[in-house]
Structure 1
């Protein structure tokens, strides 16, 4: 039996409270209700994976993710993680509606494999760089709270703020204006999480323009299936438009590129899994489509996987990997060293470099 054969696999709930409720256009959360997957190989190498289901975005819950992940135990024990693409295909073929589970299992497999090989995961992905710089998100809060959070972000030495919009237009514009006042020198991106009609999105950008605020990006202004609306907005503004919920698979991204419906694609490992995310990144590169990486409500574990992915592949223009900063506690250590908004991976010796407290 090879040293990289899976000896055991465990699946357990991973619940982490948030510092404060996080509200976006599709719902509000008070805690991360995720799933932790732990693989142990014959040589003793341990790999960790995290599934972060978010019902409004992924159509999965913690309960369905736990059931699907547990269903994979008999499937995977005894398999060799060196055949990671084959194992990914196997899991996707059976649990194709549980994408966060596919992502968590691929994460655990690649973490275990690269730990066994003694190389950091970012090097395995290509070693293009050893760091990424994240923004900080501000949810659907009052302008006063937005102003406070913006000031706190400045103190944290983070250079870009992502403001959630997609609710009441006037409130949205007031929130963005308050954030600009609290952090006058920081870049601002907007994320509507499918909350606008095409006209509302343009009205929002117009109102901000009147106040001399020009966002670096507007993400997913309209419903995920409304590519015509996405394209309409893009044709009527010079602000880059990003597809997030619309960019749910390789096929969907291919369609966005063909129909010229966005300028930027937001890759999230939880939407597609890691193998498909690699294909999406390659397709975007070939089509001169700008890349962004984002996350669901994920802990340091899954965020470090995304950081290794983005740093290893390189070429990501927008990085939105701030969710560990929204959590009230951190069950993990390692994965990256954080300095301001920068996640530095250069000290990681093997795998994700994550350990459980």
Structure 2
């Protein structure tokens, strides 16, 4: 592979509903779409999952564009690569900025799969032909609204329900759900909203048979999560704390969690995500693929990654229609009876729908 040119599309898509977490609310997704062209004319696509504000990680849409434009694209254009694994090696001198790295790396994986005539799932080592799908439900204005959202999700066949919690909206919410749905696979996502001082409160969640509590403590913590995990019977899942395979090794060594959420953008790309998968498989640590409200390209990458065998828990990769009136890929990612079929065709398995994309492009820049 020898990258010849890159186009960055700045896209803004309205969502079908407002998604609320302990950080705030969103009703549209602004993101960067990467269109990379190899010297033989093969075009690959990647999606940058950073948000407009640095509330999830330090990265934003603008900082990722800066990193891509001024550092990552110039480092990559004109280089001859035999495999997309070499992209992360090439970028190793750049500290963090994982979402920017993952965006262009994902496009290179797409190019590689097309040139070698294999699906992205196969290239990564995937073994599943279909993946189980869970759903993340944001904070709701009332308990009735939350129960309605859960009922609708279960009716559609979702294999796992994740609900957001925060101080003042936690134990009571879980109790309400369990009164109506005592046996559904249920997890709580705290988005780093608690401290060790809340240990007694979080221990109250042990009685509700949760699959996990996701990232209860600080976004950059691994050490204190080990203390909390020893105090809980409910498995802790780390999300924001995990940026690399090195972080995974530290977390497992310390006993900071029993489950790990793998997000391609957060860990710097598909290569690192696959490496984390392989390490967790060796150490019998359960993993699942988290979501970042991706549009179609990022969603396609998530589907391929989740086909790897150690992704034993349903991920957050819902079908396109759950989030968007229309997605930017064709066909759209479709969830049927709680599952999404893993494409077996060459590349990511979906085509860019340029007609839809053009409706939502804010601007485009070209790099050669």
TM-score normalised over the length of structure 2: 0.86
Worse-superposed segment, 110-119 or 71-80: 71-80
Of 34, 37, 40, 2:34 maps to 37
How far is 1:269 from its partner?
A: 0.7
Distance 1:208 1:288 in 2: 23
CA distance in 1, matches of 2:100, 2:223: 31
- Any residues of structure 2 matched to 1:63-212 within 5 Å, and which? 63-71=62-70, 72-94=72-94, 96-141=95-140, 142-168=142-168, 171-180=169-178, 183=181, 185-200=183-198, 202-206=200-204, 209=207
The structure, 1 or 2, with the larger RCO (C-alpha pairs under 8 Å, 6+ apart) is 2
Q: Give distance in 1, aligned partners of 2:22 and 2:116.
A: 43
For structure 2, the residue ranges without an aligned partner over 5 or more in a row are: 354-368
Structure 2 residue matching 1:57: 3-state secondary structure: coil
Say if 1:40 and 1:47, in contact at 8 Å, map to a contact too: yes
1:180 positional shift: 4.1
Which runs of no fewer than 5 residues in structure 1 stay unpaired? none
- CA-based RMSD of the aligned residues comes to 2.2
For residues 350 and 244 of structure 1, the distance between their equivalents in structure 2, rounded to whole angstroms, comes to: 31
Any idea what SS the aligned residue of 2:256 has? coil
Deviation at 1:271, TM superposition (A): 0.9
Quote the offset at 1:150 in angstroms: 0.6
Shift, 1:59, TM fit: 0.8
Is this contact kept in 2: 1:58–1:99, CA < 8 A? no
What is the aligned counterpart of 1:223 among 201, 209, 218?
A: 218
Q: Are the aligned partners of 1:25 and 1:193 in contact in 2 as well (CA < 8 Å)?
A: yes
Map Cα deviations across residues 280-305 of structure 1 (whole Å, 9 max, x no partner): 22222222222122122211211221
Which residue does the alignment assign to 2:256? 261
Partners of 1:69 and 1:184 lie apart in 2 by 47
What is the distance in 2 between the residues matched to 1:133 and 1:351?
A: 21
In 1, the alpha carbon distance for the partners of 2:148 and 2:180 equals 7
* 1:219 shift after superposition: 0.8
Instruction: State the secondary structure of the residue aligned to 2:56.
Output: helix
Work out the number of aligned pairs and report it. Answer: 346
CA drift of 1:167 comes to 3.0
1:281 corresponding residue in structure 2: 277
Deviation (angstroms), 1:65: 1.3
SS at match of 1:319: coil
* Equivalent residue number for residue 355 of structure 1: 351
Structure 1 residues 120 and 182, CA, compared in 2 at 3 Å: closer, same or farther?
A: farther
Alpha-carbon distance, 1:82 to partner: 2.9
Please name the residue that 2:294 is paired with: 298
Correspondence 1:46 to 2:68: no
Q: Following TM superposition, by how much is the alpha carbon of 1:102 offset from its aligned partner in structure 2, in angstroms?
A: 0.6
TM-score normalized by structure 1? 0.89
Aligned match of 1:56: 55
Contact 1:81–1:110, Cα closer than 8 Å, also in 2: no
Alignment of 1:5-44 (within 5 A): 5-44=2-41
1:227-238 maps to which residues of 2 (within 5 A)? 227-238=222-233
CA distance in 2: counterparts of 1:162 and 1:113, whole angstroms: 35
Q: After TM superposition, give the deviation of residue 185 of structure 1 in Å.
A: 4.8
Decide whether the 8 Å contact of 1:92 with 1:102 is kept in 2. Answer: no
Q: C-alpha displacement at 1:187, in angstroms?
A: 1.1
CA 29–270 in structure 1, closer or farther in 2 if over 3 Å, else same: same
